[in-house]
Amino acid sequence: MFKSVLVANRGEIACRVFRTAKRMGIRTIAVYSEADADALHVREADEAVLIGPAAARESYLDGAKVLAAAKATGAEAIHPGYGFLSENADFAEAVAAAGLIWIGPDPKSIRAMGLKDAAKQLMIEAGVPVTPGYQGADQSEETLSAEAARIGYPVLIKAVAGGGGKGMKRVDDPADFAAGLASAKREGAAAFGDDRVLIERYITRPRHIEVQVFGDRHGNVVHLYERDCSLQRRHQKVIEEAPAPGMSEAVRAAVTEAAIKAAKAVDYVGAGTIEFIADASDGLRADGVWFMEMNTRLQVEHPVTESVTGVDLVEWQFRVAAGEPIPLKQDEIKLNGWAMEARLYAEDPANGFLPSIGRLEHFVMPDGIRVDTGVEQGGEVSQFYDPMIAKLIVHEDTREAAAARLAEAAGEVEVWPVKANAGFLKRCLEHPRFVAGDVDTGFIAAEEGALKPAPSDAATLAALTLVAEAAAEAVEPGADRFSPWGGQPGLSYGTRLNAQAQTTIWARVDGQAVSAPVTPVETGWRGPLGEQAQLGFDQVQAGERLFGYRVVEDGFVLFVDGEARQVAAYRAAVAGAAGAVSDGALRAPMPGKVVAAPAKAGDRVTKGQPVVVLEAMKMEHALTAPFDGVVESVSAVGEQVTEATVLAVVKADA
């Protein structure tokens, strides 16, 4: 076994690999960009090397700099994690040429599966069922449009080098094909340096089923059962689980056999995932599952497989890379219980899921479950990298218990002032359709209304009004924790001797007015619950429920079911104040680059029509007209902009 490993990655996956390496007594080496100088993965490594500026192309994607860091530190092996250089065959070859151990598959396997069109053809030859589509060399718009018509709408345009939902566009109408194609090509070129695409039939009720496979240099290939990754938003996985709900032994046998066949077709070594798309319109059937692609690396969702099999996949990667055989035979790998993983993203569900950046002034993760993260309180969520900040993983005896525990854990997340999707995750996990296992990749879009935050219940209202009253009298701005009676934990919000028999407390919650009648009692306030609401050192108790809170400059932040609710004292006299009317200015929601301007100055646009497209955090974001009108100005394509920059102005019709 090698004695040192450099992880050519950052954040959560770097920390995850270090954890296994340290358990095995292997020295750990980190690389980092200027933006990550204070990052958690840098501090957790035994040694760390600066490799360049914040932009990934000048740091984490620069193979020469990574190899120079490995040489300077005496690293014996390189683990690429996922993303960045993990599926770069040229880099894998360079690692081997430098005399280092590459912890991943052979370059020829990466190349065979790296381009979706070539991979599909290879699978056809190997007898693996594939989705009907077009993966030809002719990339002209005329040919691609004609092939889409032949396949039949809706179709899916996919970047041949793509992954993670980037460069992937669904098109329902031939009239929208050209725009979808242009966007997929731009994203493919920006993310992977390759603008070629393939076209597939779009399955109307698709489920995303994938199989974890593992190969070694002794001719052994095994599977570690399937995962279901159907809960997605814009092709990005949100919640993953193992095993797949509704999976019969017959279908499992067919899918895992196809996965083994696919891995053997490319002489696969190491950890890999064969991804399938299944038609869920009539349950899972062996003849309704098709090969989609192979990821020649460790997957983000690998912890759910680890949970149900008891296997440390990173340890297996180390052992196989060192020349050892796979530690277990197929019949020794058992499926135990149910595991689920939720991806905690720095994004704002209330604002179109736009990524959120900034310092994590408050960052509290749930206890009692596995949490894989690369950030901590005081850390920074950067505009330069993926917005995933943690993974919440649970393992229970049944699917129902796993969903309930993960929902509970998501509700315990506290993140501020960066926005996070914890509340959204909780609502997904508690939705009756999800609990019943009735999930496909269109679930979130179909249930969008039900997944929005519900109005405050009585307990929440009691807690909100209590901290608002306390905020009006006893806030100490800048304090990390707060108690109105000298900062002592556990004390309730006490009575005032001259208090009225009943009063109405007004609060401003996320800019909206709320109110509730409260009555002073000997040890606190009797509010909407008809029970006491008590304010302790860092929690509010309202009836049976507990809420965390934090003092901020203008009051409090109350953490309710994974949501951060900003609370401040509010006077009833201004409760009806109206919000400002939009001025027609389309402002950048985050720093980024203008990559397209579908509308030009002087164009007439209708409400919801795309005006300008911003690329940020590796994804495109279309800014649309707020109302019918005429475009007065639009930023130039290629312009780098900061947050809140006016990208376009629309003048409303008179």
Residues marked active site are found at 297
Rounded CA gap, 116 and 257, in Å?
Answer: 21
Token duo for residue 488: 């002592």
Rounded CA gap, 200 and 83, in Å?
Answer: 24
CA end-to-end span of the chain, whole Å? 74
Rounded CA gap, 597 and 614, in Å?
Answer: 9
| CA nearest neighbour of 271 among 251, 238, 294 | 294
What is the CB-side half-sphere exposure of residue 352 using CA atoms within 13 A? 8
Token duo for residue 159: 């970047």
Length of the chain equals 654
Is the sign of the CA dihedral 547, 548, 551, 554 positive or negative? Answer: negative
Other C-beta atoms within 10 Å of 432: how many? 9
| CA nearest neighbour of 116 among 207, 60, 194 | 194
Place of tokens 């052979």: 106
Longest dimension (CA), the chain: 85
Token duo for residue 39: 């990052």
Rounded CA gap, 276 and 378, in Å?
Answer: 40
Between CA 91 and CA 101, with CA 96 as vertex, the angle to 5 degrees is 105
Q: Which residues pair with residue 226 across a beta bridge? A: 211
Q: In Å, what is the CA distance from 105 to each residue of 89, 275, 304?
A: 9, 17, 22
Place of tokens 């990754």: 229
Token duo for residue 615: 């690329």
Sequence-distant (≥ 6) Cβ neighbours of residue 12 within 8 angstroms: 372, 373, 374, 388, 389, 390, 391
Lateral strand order in the sheet of 77-79: 47-52, 27-33, 4-7, 77-79, 101-102
CB contact at 8 A, 238 and 343: yes
Other C-beta atoms within 10 Å of 217: how many? 14
| CA nearest neighbour of 28 among 11, 12, 8 | 8
| CA nearest neighbour of 305 among 269, 335, 266 | 335
Other C-beta atoms within 10 Å of 136: how many? 13
